């Protein structure tokens, strides 16, 4: 098929590069001329493992191209994916301006029988609104609109796309559903479950899935706090929970709270939708509040160990919201840095991939060029993101560079006994203190 991807952000670029591995011709379309020029020259604007090689492969094979010219690429398309951003507004509702602008741009250019696929995360009812919009601008019913939500984890997006645990297709007619199934046939193995449903259900599946995971994370963080007050070990508790197949092991790792571009936005959107529909989700509301409170107070866990009026030097390793991405949006690590700075600490920050985002979020002064520079002379060390690079640190060498000995492992990446052997006083999440 001839496929056009509107939007070259995280979802659009991954989608385009992965679909190009099949028997399709893919063009990624964007209004950002500078970004398209960079992509055409092999410069990938985001850090996502495996994506650069996939883009290079697609371009070299002639299956993947980049353009700003809608007139040139849209008319011949069989399928157009809308993969533009839907940022949360002040009221928590997703902003759909870019979605409808994209629909307006492609609807009149498409030939009869083409399909528009909404890949962006959008509220329930968007498919119907887009369908109405398409009929309005075209004056006919010759274009179908399908919902096909993405379930990509940053840091594993390429693998998630090519080896999905499910493909959700929301359409009102079997022909449109089959077209998307056929599209994926040469890209994704047949073993991946295809769930064909109606558009409202497909839209809600995305929000419900992410909100459930956010609830799970907030729950395990509260259990970790209970462990700290009772002497229990969160590692033992979650091991016992995870063996129950009704619960599973995923998303049972405690930490400083969830962040990123999806969970905060999607939980807020589901909450607003539920309130608007007269079926308010109190559980999601509680998870949002618990996460917000947790992130706000993580810095206090460090500063409580220093006398008021002192200016401790605190090294913070990690600013991205998770490992294997350069995304600092809604990152708990950024909240920790801001909290430490407000409390009077001198903060030194390092991250393997997130320094540009950190520069925008916290400024230039706290940034360091290496782990060694960050920990040199520090009174305390905070692990804020679970990068493998940090988990492999020689803690004894780190301790020797530091002035103090406190290690706050907010991702539980170290064995407490290893930290103790390195001469460090070790604080983690939900585990006994070791020194």
**pLDDT tens sequence across 107-160:** 999 999 999 999 999 999 999 999 999 999 999 999 999 999 999 999 999 999
Instruction: Give the pLDDT mean for 28-32.
Output: 96
Look up the CATH superfamily of 2-197.
Answer: NAD(P)-binding Rossmann-like Domain (3.40.50.720)
- Of the pLDDT bands very low, low, confident and very high (cuts 50, 70, 90), residue 89 is confident
Predicted confidence band at 36 (pLDDT cuts at 50, 70, 90)? very high
Q: What digits encode the pLDDT tens for the residues 212-234?
A: 999 999 999 999 999 999 999 99
Q: Which of 379, 314, 322, 380 is nearest to 351 (CA)?
A: 322
Query: pLDDT at position 262, please?
Result: 92
DSSP string, 177-205: HHHHHHHHHTTS-TTSPEEEE-HHHHHHH
| 380-383, strands of its sheet edge to edge | 346-350, 313-317, 380-383, 406-409, 425-428
pLDDT for 399 beyond 60 = yes
Residue 434 is predicted with a pLDDT of 59
How confident is the model over 150-204, as pLDDT tens digits? 999 999 999 999 999 999 999 999 999 999 999 999 999 888 899 999 999 999 9
pLDDT in tens, 404-431: 999 999 999 999 999 999 999 999 999 8
pLDDT of res. 88? 87
Is the confidence at residue 435, as pLDDT, over 80?
no
Q: Considering the chain, what percentage of its residues have pLDDT values greater than 90? A: 95
User: Which one, of 326, 384, 321, lies nearest residue 352 by Cα?
Assistant: 326
The CATH code belonging to domain 198-435 is: 3.40.50.720
pLDDT of 297: 95
- How confident is the model over 290-318, as pLDDT tens digits? 999 999 999 999 999 999 889 999 999 99
Phi-psi region of 251 (alpha: psi -120 to 50; beta: other; left: phi over 0): left
Query: Going by C-beta distance under 8 Å and a sequence separation of 6 or more, which residues neighbour residue 256?
Result: 294, 295, 298, 332, 333, 335, 336, 384, 410, 411, 429
Q: Alpha-carbon distance 24 to 64, whole Å?
A: 9
Task: Give residue-wise pLDDT tens across range 95-106.
Answer: 999 999 999 999
- Catalytic residues, by residue number, are 262
pLDDT digits (tens, 9 = 90+) for 69-87: 999 999 999 999 999 999 9
Could you state, in order of their start, the residue ranges of all structural domains in the chain?
2-197, 198-435
């Amino acid at each position: 098929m001839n496929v056009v991807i509107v939007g070259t952000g995280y979802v659009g670029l991954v989608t385009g590069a992965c679909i190009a591995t099949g028997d399709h011709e893919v063009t990624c379309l964007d209004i950002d001329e500078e970004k398209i020029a960079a992509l055409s020259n092999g410069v990938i604007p985001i850090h996502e493992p495996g994506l650069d090689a996939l883009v290079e492969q697609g371009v070299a094979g002639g299956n993947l191209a980049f353009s700003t010219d809608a007139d040139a690429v849209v008319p011949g398309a069989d399928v157009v994916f809308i993969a533009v951003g839907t940022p949360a507004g002040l009221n928590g509702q997703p902003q759909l301006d870019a979605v409808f602008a994209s629909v307006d741009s492609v609807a009149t250019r498409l030939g009869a029988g083409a399909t528009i696929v909404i890949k962006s995360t959008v509220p329930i009812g968007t498919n119907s609104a887009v369908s109405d919009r398409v009929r309005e601008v075209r004056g006919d019913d010759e274009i179908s609109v399908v919902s096909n939500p993405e379930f990509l984890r940053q840091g594993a997006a390429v693998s998630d796309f090519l080896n999905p645990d499910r493909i959700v297709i929301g359409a009102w007619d079997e022909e449109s559903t089959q077209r998307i199934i056929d599209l994926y046939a040469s890209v994704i193995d047949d073993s991946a479950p295809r769930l064909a449903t109606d558009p409202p259900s497909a839209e809600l599946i995305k929000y419900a899935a992410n909100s459930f995971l956010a609830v799970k994370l907030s729950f395990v963080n509260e259990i970790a706090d209970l462990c700290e007050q009772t002497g229990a070990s969160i590692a033992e508790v979650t091991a016992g929970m995870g063996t129950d197949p009704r619960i599973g092991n995923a998303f049972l790792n405690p930490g400083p709270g969830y962040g990123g571009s999806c969970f905060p936005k999607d939980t807020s959107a589901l909450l607003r939708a539920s309130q608007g529909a007269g079926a308010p989700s109190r559980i999601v509301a509680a998870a949002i509040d618990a996460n917000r409170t947790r992130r706000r107070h993580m810095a206090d866990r460090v500063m409580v160990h220093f006398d008021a009026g002192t200016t401790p030097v605190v090294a913070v390793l990690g600013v991205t919201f998770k490992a294997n991405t350069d995304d600092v949006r809604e990152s708990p690590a950024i909240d920790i840095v801001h909290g430490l700075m407000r409390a009077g600490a001198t903060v030194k920050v390092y991250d393997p991939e997130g320094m540009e985002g950190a520069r925008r979020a916290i400024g230039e002064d706290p940034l360091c060029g290496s782990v060694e520079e960050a920990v040199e002379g520090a009174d305390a060390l905070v692990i804020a993101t679970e990068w493998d690079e940090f988990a492999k640190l020689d803690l004894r060498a780190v301790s020797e560079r530091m002035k103090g000995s406190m290690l706050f492992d907010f991702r539980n990446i170290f064995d407490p006994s290893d930290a103790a052997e390195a001469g460090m006083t070790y604080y983690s999440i939900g585990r006994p203190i070791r020194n």
